[in-house]
Chains A and B, each alone.
Chain A
Amino acid sequence: MKDWIAITRFDDVPRQGSRVVELAHNDKLNRIAVFRTISDEVFAVLDKCPHRGGPLSEGIVHGGRVTCPLHSWKIDLATGEAVLPDKGCVRAYATKVEDGQIYLRLA
């Protein structure tokens, strides 16, 4: 699965906010959080904190990071890695924006 999938309009994701994408693929439902930062960069990670599975999409977005609403782990959105001293990693997905449309790639 190497194709770019159109997700949503760029304008439909609030700045410093997120949207949740429920992506059904091969009978599997992926819950993916798509973020837009203060500088209008777009990132996507699995909507599941590596700590206790909290919904990252509900966190506060600051710089290129999100803070998980359950126990305040900070996740770097570009890599999916937890910010030290916490250790862990959530899957990050490639994204691109073309003509105001956000695309995401599963693999």
Chain B
Amino acid sequence: MDTNMPRASDSRLKLVMVGNGMAGMRTLEELLKSAPDLYDVTVFGDEPHPNYNRIMLSPVLAGEQTVEQIVLNSRDWYAQNGITLHTGKKVAKINRQARTVETDDGMKASYDRLLLATGSKPFILPVPGADLPGVIGFRDIADVDAMIRASSEHKHAVVIGGGLLGLEAANGLKLRGMDVSVVHIGAWLLERQLDEPAARLLQKNLEEKGLKFLLQKHTAELVRGESGRVCAVTFKDGETIPADLVVMAVGIRPNTELAESAGLHCHRGLVVNDTLQTFDPRIYAVGECVSHRGIAYGLVAPLFEQAKVCANHLAEHGVARYQGSLTSTKLKVTGIDLFSAGDFIGAPDTESLVFSDAAAGTYKKLVIKDNKLVGACIYGDTLDGAWYFDLLREGTDIAQFRKTLLFGQHHLGDSGHGPAERVAALPATAEICGCNGVCKGDIVKAIRDNKLFTLEDVRAYTKASASCGSCTGLVEAVLAHTVGGDYSTAPSKKPLCKCTEHSHDDVIAVIRDQKLKSMDAVFQTLEWKTPDGCASCRPALNYYLLARWPGEYVDDAQSRFINERAHGNIQKDGSFSVVPRMWGGLTNPSELRAIADVADKYQVPEVKVTGGQRIDLFGIKKEDLPAVWKDLSDAGFVSGHAYGKALRTVKTCVGSQWCRFGTQDSTGLGVKLERMTWGSWMPHKYKLAVSGCPRNCAEATIKDFGVVCVDSGYELHVGGNGGIKVRVTDLLCRVETEAEVMEYCGAFTQLYREEAHYLERTAPWVERVGLAHIKAKVVDDAEGRLALHERFIYGQQFAQIDPWKERAEGSEAREFQPIRITA
């Protein structure tokens, strides 16, 4: 069925959704984006409100936000999108044979597909008095209203349950002026989110705010007062404390009553498969009511991931799979920062790194297994939480920075932004994203005005962290701080772009394994959502195909950024700059004369020496480019590829030929390396350097591949970067001969070309896959190294064709010729 065709309303399928909460509504929003005309949608919600942000009930209780502020979809929104909304209606029955649902007051609706998003219910302890007035859960706006009312009429509040929700309720009630005791059955608070030392710090902090704690207490009975309302709580040890309000926050249970009554298979939740389908194929389910692979999630991030997958199937695209989520936790109590993720308790086969400063109220514990982070528990300064979560999710090899891991991301030497100031304390004018000039205030405003939840949304609206990405952690921190912490982090597997669900690694593997040799083949095999991709995926696919099938895949000029299509760097006024290649940085009088002649002839406004020891001619009009290239080409120059995701330059020092310290012929080796590697396309720009001695005048240790000559041979360094985020190389190995340098260089370069993601430089790539992986392929496996090197050399025969000469001879002429008309 073609879902792109508009449908007449009478031919539309009927979709009924039961449950008007965040997970269900997110599913509808995703569905409307991709198939707006497929369904007539009817929504039943048993609360009297439109969809609101349940996460923000705690700030509403604390008086920091109002109910109006947390509404996500207004009634107008439903009307504008043609959705029939019934609020205050409880669906009591599903008739699966007739495909209808019926509310408890007799309203009926028929469906072609049914989406159950009935959420969860607070678990109420089965103790005497649990049904008394004044005993409530903490789940919806009605509960918050009841608590606010109680706080103005009564004094003593008891919260049963020292978990996230319980502590947030206790904090809110305290701020409303009540005397609050938290009763907890465990030995410490938040035992599912914190280890004991961190929980003690938290407890101390909350006690300073005036909360009281009763740990390892078992509730025996809720006592009825004279008014009929609850008046006290009695424990199994006989102790009794006064209570005018009891909030049960001991957990939630998936609300599966309706599903069970319809005979749908439930086991600790309504059981769904990876496409969010229940055992009845017409019935889908998302959210807290669902049990997926035995897990019922209660946090918003996994629910939104489910929503995305479910919408994909409801839209009949049929390509997405939900494979479970890793979750992390933050507490929304103003002034208290805690973060945890993964297995932070540890096991016999794990190691722990612990930093504890009780006086400063800071505690960090990181759990490591096989050089990978598997758990984190942080109290106090949680700015690095998002970064740790990323390391955990990506399975990054941390061996290289294990020593500084505890001190956070900034200790990796990130010069892109300042020290780890607390995001919360930053003024609105503080710049978060340097690339796009986005301030904290812009981000907060965009999040509030547009009700954003995800990093991706914030990027789309503000462009913050959309360029170099080094401020991603800060943007996530602003997002977490603004929406209250329980924000949705990026999905566990990042799609290449919005045109597909598949990741870079998936695409690389499919192109290789299924021998896909054209862009159309990729679009078809992987079911691209757009007819011809977008400006993000097309250049990536063009590169992957070119790198994998040299000599077979035909480069697609229309899938290249303008710089690579026009073989020059576009400048802000639309003119171009031209950098001829100078092998190893060597030149001579006749070359310099030729460059000077070109500069004169075309009235080049500015001539500059680049950071990579080449000469840059600025301000050349696009239509003059072919003529400029012809003159340069006649003088023996080829393109310097200063505009490309390609081998840029090989920087050298003078070496043993002239320098009194030089140990080897670094200039000569640099020329040989540049002759071997020039012309090759790469995932990102790629720079080499050769230094003649450990004084390292060519700065080889901040290059993608750097050679440092020593008396006994050559040190090979990889993964350096001198850009936004300075990274010093890792030592790959030492070799003895120039021939070995050439072979290792070719092999490392090819491994990067085959495995890195498009637009990923060697520095983040080496950090992602780990130096051990690279050593295994390039150093330890001699046969594999030779094969990599040979693949590189094979590809070079198709790549080392000077694009300037081709164009000077008339190829692609219309790219450079405007059409001039006088009307």
Bound complex: CA A60 to CA B819 (Å): 20
List of A residues within 8 angstroms of B533 by Cβ: 62
Known contacts A5-B821, A7-B819; is-contact A59 B558 (Cβ 8 Å): no
Bound complex: CA A21 to CA B818 (Å): 6
List of A residues within 8 angstroms of B563 by Cβ: 69
Q: Are A70 and B823 in contact (CB under 8 A)?
A: no
Does B227 belong to the interface (CB within 8 Å)?
no
A42-71, CB < 8 A from B? 52, 54-55, 58-63, 67, 69-71
Q: Are A62 and B532 in contact (CB under 8 A)?
A: yes
Q: Are B532 and A38 in contact (CB under 8 A)?
A: yes
Q: Are B535 and A62 in contact (CB under 8 A)?
A: yes
B544-574, CB < 8 A from A? 557-563, 565-566, 570, 572, 574
Per-residue CB proximity of B509-531 to A under 8 Å, as 1/0?
00000000000000000000011
Q: Are A24 and B823 in contact (CB under 8 A)?
A: yes
Q: Are A60 and B561 in contact (CB under 8 A)?
A: yes
Per-residue CB proximity of A15-28 to B under 8 Å, as 1/0?
11101111111000
Q: Are B821 and A16 in contact (CB under 8 A)?
A: no
List of B residues within 8 angstroms of A24 by Cβ: 820-823
Bound complex: CA A8 to CA B819 (Å): 8
Does A101 belong to the interface (CB within 8 Å)?
no
A1-41, CB < 8 A from B? 1, 5, 7-8, 12, 14-17, 19-25, 31, 34, 38-39
Residue of B whose beta carbon sits closest to that of A24: B822
Q: Are A1 and B823 in contact (CB under 8 A)?
A: yes
Does B534 belong to the interface (CB within 8 Å)?
yes
Per-residue CB proximity of B566-589 to A under 8 Å, as 1/0?
100010101000000000000000
Known contacts A16-B532, A38-B531, A63-B530; is-contact A58 B566 (Cβ 8 Å): yes
Q: Are A69 and B562 in contact (CB under 8 A)?
A: yes
B535 CB contact (under 8 Å) in A19, A31, A34, A72: A72
B534 CB contact (under 8 Å) in A1, A31, A54, A62: A62
B562 CB contact (under 8 Å) in A7, A59, A62, A85: A59
List of B residues within 8 angstroms of A21 by Cβ: 818-821
Q: Are B562 and A15 in contact (CB under 8 A)?
A: no
Does A106 belong to the interface (CB within 8 Å)?
yes
Bound complex: CA A7 to CA B819 (Å): 8
B820 CB contact (under 8 Å) in A22, A54, A74: A22
List of B residues within 8 angstroms of A69 by Cβ: 561-563, 570
Q: Are A22 and B530 in contact (CB under 8 A)?
A: no
List of A residues within 8 angstroms of B601 by Cβ: none
Known contacts A5-B821, A69-B570; is-contact A16 B558 (Cβ 8 Å): yes
List of A residues within 8 angstroms of B608 by Cβ: none
Q: Are A22 and B821 in contact (CB under 8 A)?
A: yes
Per-residue CB proximity of B806-817 to A under 8 Å, as 1/0?
000000001000
List of B residues within 8 angstroms of A61 by Cβ: 558
A25 → chain B, closest Cβ, in Å?
A: 5
Q: Are B823 and A106 in contact (CB under 8 A)?
A: yes
B270 → chain A, closest Cβ, in Å?
A: 35
Among the interface residues A5, A16, A60, A67, which one has the most CB atoms of the partner chain B within 10 A?
A60
List of B residues within 8 angstroms of A74 by Cβ: 535
List of B residues within 8 angstroms of A5 by Cβ: 821, 823
Bound complex: CA A75 to CA B820 (Å): 24
Bound complex: CA A52 to CA B818 (Å): 21
B528 → chain A, closest Cβ, in Å?
A: 11
Q: Are A60 and B574 in contact (CB under 8 A)?
A: no
A99 → chain B, closest Cβ, in Å?
A: 18
List of B residues within 8 angstroms of A16 by Cβ: 532, 558-559
Bound complex: CA A60 to CA B536 (Å): 9
Bound complex: CA A54 to CA B571 (Å): 10
Does B461 belong to the interface (CB within 8 Å)?
yes
The number of chain A residues with a CB under 8 A from chain B is 37
Known contacts A14-B558, A60-B559; is-contact A23 B531 (Cβ 8 Å): no
List of A residues within 8 angstroms of B570 by Cβ: 55, 58, 69-70
Name B's interface SS. Answer: mixed
Does B539 belong to the interface (CB within 8 Å)?
yes
Q: Are A39 and B535 in contact (CB under 8 A)?
A: no
Does B801 belong to the interface (CB within 8 Å)?
no
List of B residues within 8 angstroms of A106 by Cβ: 823
Q: Are B461 and A85 in contact (CB under 8 A)?
A: yes
Residue of B whose beta carbon sits closest to that of A21: B819
Does B592 belong to the interface (CB within 8 Å)?
no
Known contacts A22-B819, A23-B821, A24-B821; is-contact A58 B562 (Cβ 8 Å): yes
List of B residues within 8 angstroms of A54 by Cβ: 574
Does B295 belong to the interface (CB within 8 Å)?
no
Does B460 belong to the interface (CB within 8 Å)?
yes
Per-residue CB proximity of B216-258 to A under 8 Å, as 1/0?
0000000000000000000000000000000000000000000
A54 → chain B, closest Cβ, in Å?
A: 8
B180 → chain A, closest Cβ, in Å?
A: 42
Q: Are B574 and A55 in contact (CB under 8 A)?
A: yes
Bound complex: CA A54 to CA B561 (Å): 14
A41 → chain B, closest Cβ, in Å?
A: 12
A40 → chain B, closest Cβ, in Å?
A: 12
List of A residues within 8 angstroms of B561 by Cβ: 60, 69
Q: Are B814 and A12 in contact (CB under 8 A)?
A: yes
A63 CB contact (under 8 Å) in B531, B559, B560: B531
Q: Are A22 and B818 in contact (CB under 8 A)?
A: yes
Per-residue CB proximity of B277-308 to A under 8 Å, as 1/0?
00000000000000000000000000000000
Q: Are B818 and A62 in contact (CB under 8 A)?
A: no
List of B residues within 8 angstroms of A38 by Cβ: 531-532
Among the interface residues B460, B561, B563, B823, which one has the most CB atoms of the partner chain A within 10 A?
B823
B153 → chain A, closest Cβ, in Å?
A: 46
Q: Are A39 and B558 in contact (CB under 8 A)?
A: no
Q: Are B530 and A62 in contact (CB under 8 A)?
A: yes
List of A residues within 8 angstroms of B562 by Cβ: 58-59, 69
Residue of B whose beta carbon sits closest to that of A39: B531
List of A residues within 8 angstroms of B560 by Cβ: 60
Bound complex: CA A25 to CA B821 (Å): 9
Bound complex: CA A4 to CA B460 (Å): 39
B4 → chain A, closest Cβ, in Å?
A: 12
Bound complex: CA A71 to CA B561 (Å): 12
Known contacts A16-B558, A22-B821; is-contact A70 B572 (Cβ 8 Å): yes
Q: Are A25 and B823 in contact (CB under 8 A)?
A: yes
Bound complex: CA A8 to CA B820 (Å): 10
List of B residues within 8 angstroms of A71 by Cβ: 436, 463
Does B96 belong to the interface (CB within 8 Å)?
no
Q: Are B821 and A7 in contact (CB under 8 A)?
A: yes
Per-residue CB proximity of B677-716 to A under 8 Å, as 1/0?
0000000000000000000000000000000000000000
A11 → chain B, closest Cβ, in Å?
A: 10
List of B residues within 8 angstroms of A15 by Cβ: 558
Does B86 belong to the interface (CB within 8 Å)?
no
List of A residues within 8 angstroms of B461 by Cβ: 85
B786 → chain A, closest Cβ, in Å?
A: 38
Does B155 belong to the interface (CB within 8 Å)?
no
List of A residues within 8 angstroms of B566 by Cβ: 58
Does B791 belong to the interface (CB within 8 Å)?
no
Bound complex: CA A88 to CA B755 (Å): 39
Task: Known pairs A14-B557, A62-B533; list 7 more (Cβ under 8 Å).
Answer: A22-B821, A24-B822, A38-B532, A58-B566, A60-B558, A61-B558, A74-B535
Residues of B with Cβ closer than 8 Å to A? 436, 450, 460-461, 463, 530-535, 538-539, 557-563, 565-566, 570, 572, 574, 814, 818-823
Shortest beta-carbon contacts, A-B, top 10 = A67-B535, A58-B562, A16-B558, A60-B535, A38-B532, A20-B818, A24-B822, A69-B562, A85-B461, A21-B819
Residues of A with Cβ closer than 8 Å to B? 1, 5, 7-8, 12, 14-17, 19-25, 31, 34, 38-39, 52, 54-55, 58-63, 67, 69-72, 74, 85, 106
A/B interface sample: 16 pairs, CB < 8 A = A12-B814, A16-B558, A19-B814, A19-B819, A23-B821, A24-B823, A39-B531, A52-B572, A60-B535, A60-B538, A60-B558, A62-B533, A69-B562, A69-B563, A72-B535, A85-B450
